[in-house]
Structure 1
């Protein structure tokens, strides 16, 4: 069984803040993909579960698909470009399968869907043949999702604070 968790990551780019990232077996997901496919420039991509995603319809798709119903699969966007923060640029997806006590990421690939409708994301994918299936315990997978939900709310409060300086926000979680 593989491990999956969240960990604070330093951005590869000076213009971006540190962010909560996904690790698989102790390695940041973007760095793992970059190790196998350096020509795709996956290093520096950020999770779609962050508040940074700008389109509400796209955000909804991510949160609906990240944890499919038991005994079902979903193609879920998991990493995106930190510049565009939407589905229009480099978008990494995973075929996620909920099989009861564990969650499988059966395949990971780059979305090449040529349709602006967020519901169509994952229709056309170039799957990464060098990346094997990953199986996670349901407990650790749900903990990852909870970590991102918590960070999402913190980032949302910080964003709102920019518009209303009287609002206070808690510190970011650090793992």
Structure 2
């Protein structure tokens, strides 16, 4: 684990909420009480992230298992948003590099694709380790709950 620079700590959460463009509530990741979609839109001055959702309830079981595995680790590329129409990781997917530092977890860089081949230029995000672990736990719980409902 590397020592982190002085990053401003952000609050991270995942929950269901009504989102513009959707008839029913969707899962959303929030950063300091705004959606990750809005964080990305504001920092890229675009609206390209509006119809993306966290990878919960992916159509392909193999894709869902991969996301579950990646959530358990740091120092990985983690898919955090996918196309709400396709619900898989073969279409539009936004990924972040998750790094564990001595005193926090950092989403250092963002990009399109599981390989992050097209960078998304936004500031990194840092989270307290305990809060990030709680976020991961709730994220996994949503995946398990959604998977159980689809059987």
2: CA distance between counterparts of 1:159 and 1:45?
A: 20
| TM-score (norm: length of structure 2) | 0.82
- From 106, 109, 113, the equivalent of 2:108 is 106
Residue 27 of structure 1 corresponds to: 34
Instruction: Quote how far apart the aligned CAs of 1:90 are.
Output: 1.2
Task: Return 60-69 or 144-153, whichever deviates more.
Answer: 60-69
SS at match of 1:86: coil
- Aligned residue for 2:21, secondary structure, equals coil
Match of 1:170 in 2: none
- TM-score w.r.t. the length of structure 1 is 0.72
Aligned to 2:51: 44
Q: Deviations over 1:118-169 (max 9, x none)?
A: xxx31x522222x111111111111111112222233233323xxxxxxxxx
Aligned match of 1:158:
149
| Cα RMSD (Å) | 2.0
The structure with more radius of gyration? 1
Q: Which residue in the other structure is 2:120 paired with? A: 128
Alignment of 1:9-24 (within 5 A): 9-15=17-23, 17-24=24-31
Cα distance in 2 between the residues matched to 1:127 and 1:79: 14
Residue number among 7, 10, 13 corresponding to 1:2 in the alignment: 10
**1:103 CA displacement:** 0.9
Equivalents in 2 of 1:14, 1:68: separation in Å? 31
1:48-63 aligned at under 5 Å gives the runs 48=55, 50=56, 52-63=57-68
State the number of aligned residues. 143
C-alpha distance in 2, partners of 1:102/1:125?
26
Work out whether residues 97 and 110 of structure 2, in 8 Å CA contact, stay in contact via their aligned partners in 1. Answer: yes
| Aligned counterpart, 2:5 | none
Report deviation, 1:100: 4.7
Which position in structure 2 is the counterpart of 1:85? 87
What's 1:117 paired with?
Answer: none
2:3 matched residue in structure 1: none
| Runs of 5+ consecutive residues of structure 1 not aligned to the other structure | 112-120, 161-175
Q: Counterparts of 1:158 and 1:68 in 2: how far apart (Å)?
A: 26
